[in-house]
């Protein structure tokens, strides 16, 4: 427990369970979109899938993760067919 307090004093904080769940969920949606876009040669779907898989590495706030993930998933939904 002392090690956790030392890491927090250095500015390193563990992500919340909501953040971890969102990152996994949007990563899976991104992987599915990437595969579908590549197979059907739909560039928008392919690159949106890549964005869904990679953006959690650049976002640290949970609310921002969910906001961007829902927006990108909506784009995937609109371009699916």
Give the pLDDT means over successive 10-residue stretches in the chain (81 positions): 80 88 97 96 96 94 96 95 82
Place of tokens 């956790």: 4
- Every domain of the chain and the residues it spans: 15-79
Query: How distant, in Å, are the alpha carbons of 4, 8, 9, 10, 72 from that of 68?
Result: 29, 27, 29, 28, 6
Q: What is the pLDDT of residue 1?
A: 64
The tokens of 36 are what?
Answer: 């579908």
pLDDT at residue number 81: 82
Query: In angstroms, how far is CA 18 from the centroid of its own chain?
Result: 12
């Amino acid at each position: 427990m002392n090690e956790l307090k030392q890491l927090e004093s250095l500015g390193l904080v563990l992500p919340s369970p909501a953040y971890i769940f969102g990152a996994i969920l949007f990563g899976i949606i991104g992987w599915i979109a990437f595969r579908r876009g590549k197979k059907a040669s739909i560039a928008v779907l392919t690159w949106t899938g890549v964005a869904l898989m990679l953006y959690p590495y650049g976002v640290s706030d949970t609310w921002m993760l969910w906001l961007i993930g829902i927006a990108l998933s909506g784009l995937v939904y609109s371009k699916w067919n």
